[in-house]
């Protein structure tokens, strides 16, 4: 790949040896914001200007490590939770808990919760259970009575009533037969003159009455068997079903009350929390610095149901939980090696390996809602003496290691569109050269093509970049725009590359037209070079330095030439440089440069 032809040469700038013409030349450069930042001599108002720093291209081992903070925990962690229900309150209060760090055996008492309210509920519930039991017994008695009443009617009362009617019917039939015989005999006696007509009429009346009594007895038997018996059966069976339903309801009520009593007794028993296994007690404290919930386990604290109270970690299997920013998480994968350094053991490095990378970000506080971090689990290989849960640790995950590659500092390269450039020293001049780059670790970047070891590049390329017209980025193809109209003919199609007033088929002319440019001029030679907004170019440089995209720069993010001026730029003294402070410093320095410009020219 041939380097881009150099169109402008910049003579070597030597510190402390600047001529009058050179001073005027640098005064023009100072109004360019990006150059102003790279040559920034502090906020003291000094007029000394630094020449571009040099760096010799090297070839060697490239290492990309991602470093984050985390907390040590056990990979095998038995959690002891509160099993007591809230019972309409916020939770249950801790009355007694063993000191943190205590070694317990399986079955040992770890924590005792307040059970006074549950004990009162138990006494009340026992009374409710007894009342439910009494109601159940009464329902059982009523049901048995109803069953016996049906049996009593079918086998007793109905049989008695039926027998009585049968006896009455037999008597009525006999009386009717005798009455008929009497009438027949009296009729014969009347014919012979032995009795009077009045006596015969009396016998006939007695016969009619006996026949009526016989008919009445038959009707009573029919009513008993057809209506009275069926009515009594329906009523007695209904009584049985009703009492059976009431008995079932009372039995269910009694069972529910007994179950509630047993639950209360079980809850009382669970107020004494015992260790499920051997281990060292670690309180399940959860403290968030910004906007989160603080959970402190101590005597008097209120814990809710299913909340972890203590943990019993396995000291032989430890790991580190670290949160990695979304800008770096794509490079972290399971199985990558890691180096762990504990704050408690700063002189000892532990080996580790990435075991898990969460698919979803962790929930942050309200101050960091827009910052996405992914929890990553790093297993510690081997457990040294003194390793315990809760220790702060620094995890360094090795995501890339390339032997014998060409690399330069990231400050030596810059982008124009999708292309990467750097300034290469050629004799006493500078050459603008396009290169192809690979991995970067935020400090150095791998160069794949068009740069050789031993060549010298400008470490701070921004001052030279401000003096050159960089090649235009390739124009992106535009889509055809079809303008349809509901009235009349549709307007002509505007092709990609055509201006609004161009005719169809006529190419658009301008910086992106065909043919190479006649030459790239220095920006300082153009009449509008000093009219730009200093914050525009400064913002582009801020975006390049802000690798993690959090909108703040630390001292390590700044180039070596600017780290000594960190205090002057960080006006609020919070240890970070935000975009507002960055733009304010750019405007301040640009204004000072314009004030010094007439003196430079006149000098």
Mean pLDDT, 10 residues at a time, the chain of 603 residues: 39 35 35 40 39 86 90 86 85 93 90 93 95 95 94 91 90 90 90 88 91 90 92 94 95 96 94 90 75 78 92 84 88 90 88 91 68 90 79 90 91 86 86 89 89 90 71 58 39 39 39 37 42 63 78 80 77 82 77 49 35
d(CA 440, CA 65): 10
- Three-state DSSP class for residue 185: helix
Residue 92 to residues 286, 297, 304, 599, Cα–Cα distance (Å): 18, 12, 6, 78
Q: Which pLDDT belongs to residue 338?
A: 92
H or E element in which residue 246 lies: helix 229-270
pLDDT at position 476: 56
CB environment 416-426: b (16+ within 10 A), e (fewer) = eeeebbbbbbe
Q: DSSP state, 419?
A: E
* CB proximity list for 393: less than 8 A, separation 6 or greater: 69, 70, 71, 72, 320, 322, 340, 341, 342, 343
Quote the pLDDT of residue 416. Answer: 81
pLDDT of residue 112: 95
- Return the structure tokens found at 510: 């301008």
User: Which residues have a Cβ under 8 Å from the Cβ of 515 and sit 6 or more positions away?
Assistant: none
Q: Domain ranges in the chain?
A: 117-270
Looking at 1.10.3470, 1.10.3120, 1.10.287, 3.30.1360, the CATH number of the domain 117-270 comes to 1.10.287
Q: CA angle at residue 57 from 53 to 58, to 5 degrees? A: 130
Q: What is the pLDDT of residues 324-345, one digit of tens each?
A: 888 888 889 999 999 999 988 8
pLDDT the model gives residue 567: 78
**pLDDT tens digits, one per residue of 201-231:** 998 999 999 999 989 999 999 999 899 999 9
Residues 96 and 491: beta-carbon distance below 8 Å: no
In contact, 121 and 341? CB cutoff 8 Å? no
């Amino acid at each position: 790949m041939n380097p881009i032809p150099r169109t402008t040469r910049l003579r070597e700038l030597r510190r402390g040896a600047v001529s009058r013409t050179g001073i005027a030349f640098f005064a023009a450069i100072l109004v360019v914001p990006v150059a102003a930042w790279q040559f920034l001599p502090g906020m003291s108002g000094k007029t000394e200007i630094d020449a571009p720093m040099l760096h010799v291209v090297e070839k060697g081992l490239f290492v990309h490590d991602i470093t984050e903070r985390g907390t040590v925990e056990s990979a095998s962690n038995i959690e002891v939770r509160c099993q007591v229900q809230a019972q309409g309150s916020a939770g249950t209060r801790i009355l007694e808990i063993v000191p943190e760090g205590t070694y317990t055996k399986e079955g040992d008492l770890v924590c005792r919760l307040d059970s006074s309210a549950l004990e009162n509920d138990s006494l009340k519930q026992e009374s409710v259970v007894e009342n439910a039991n009494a109601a159940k017994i009464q329902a059982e008695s009523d049901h048995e009575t109803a069953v016996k009443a049906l049996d009593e009617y079918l086998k007793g009362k109905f049989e008695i009533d039926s027998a009585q009617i049968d006896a009455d019917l037999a008597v009525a039939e006999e009386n009717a037969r005798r009455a008929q015989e009497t009438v027949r005999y009296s009729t014969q006696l009347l014919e012979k003159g032995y009795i009077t007509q009045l006596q015969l009429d009396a016998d006939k009346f007695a016969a009619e009455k006996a026949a009526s009594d016989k008919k009445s007895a038959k009707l009573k038997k029919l009513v008993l068997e057809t209506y009275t018996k069926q009515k009594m059966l329906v009523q007695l069976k209904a009584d049985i079903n009703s009492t059976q339903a009431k008995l079932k309801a009372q039995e269910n009520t009694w069972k529910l009350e007994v179950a509630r009593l047993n639950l209360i007794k079980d809850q009382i028993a669970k107020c004494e929390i015992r260790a499920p296994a051997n281990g060292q007690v670690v309180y399940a404290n959860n403290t968030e610095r910004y906007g989160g919930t603080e959970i402190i386990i101590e005597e008097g604290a209120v814990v809710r149901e299913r909340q972890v109270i203590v943990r019993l970690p396995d000291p032989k299997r430890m790991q580190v939980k670290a949160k990695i920013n979304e800008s770096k998480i794509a490079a972290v994968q399971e199985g990558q090696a890691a180096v762990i350094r504990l704050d408690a053991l700063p002189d000892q490095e532990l080996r580790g390996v990435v075991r898990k990378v969460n698919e979803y970000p962790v929930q942050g506080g309200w101050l960091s809602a827009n910052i996405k971090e992914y929890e990553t689990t790093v297993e510690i290989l081997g457990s040294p003496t003194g390793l315990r849960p809760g220790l702060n640790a620094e995890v360094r995950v090795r995501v890339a290691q390339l032997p014998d590659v060409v690399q330069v500092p990231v400050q030596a390269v810059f982008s124009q569109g999708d292309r990467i450039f750097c300034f290469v020293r050629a004799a006493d001049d500078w050459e603008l050269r396009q290169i192809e780059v690979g991995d970067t670790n935020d400090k150095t970047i791998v160069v794949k093509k068009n740069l050789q070891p031993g060549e010298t590049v400008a470490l701070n390329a921004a001052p030279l970049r401000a003096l050159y017209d960089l090649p235009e980025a390739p124009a992106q193809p535009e889509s055809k725009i079809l303008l349809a109209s509901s009235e009349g003919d549709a307007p002509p199609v505007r092709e990609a590359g055509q201006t609004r007033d161009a005719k169809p088929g006529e190419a658009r002319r301008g910086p992106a037209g065909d043919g190479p440019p006649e030459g790239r001029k220095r920006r300082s030679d153009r009449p509008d070079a000093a009219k730009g907004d200093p914050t525009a170019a400064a913002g582009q440089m801020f975006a390049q330095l802000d690798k993690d995209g959090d909108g703040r720069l630390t001292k390590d993010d700044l180039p070596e030439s600017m780290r000594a001026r960190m205090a002057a730029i960080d006006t609020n003294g919070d240890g970070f440089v935000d975009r507002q402070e960055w733009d304010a410093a750019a405007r301040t320095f640009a204004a000072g440069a314009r004030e010094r410009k007439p003196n430079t020219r006149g000098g």
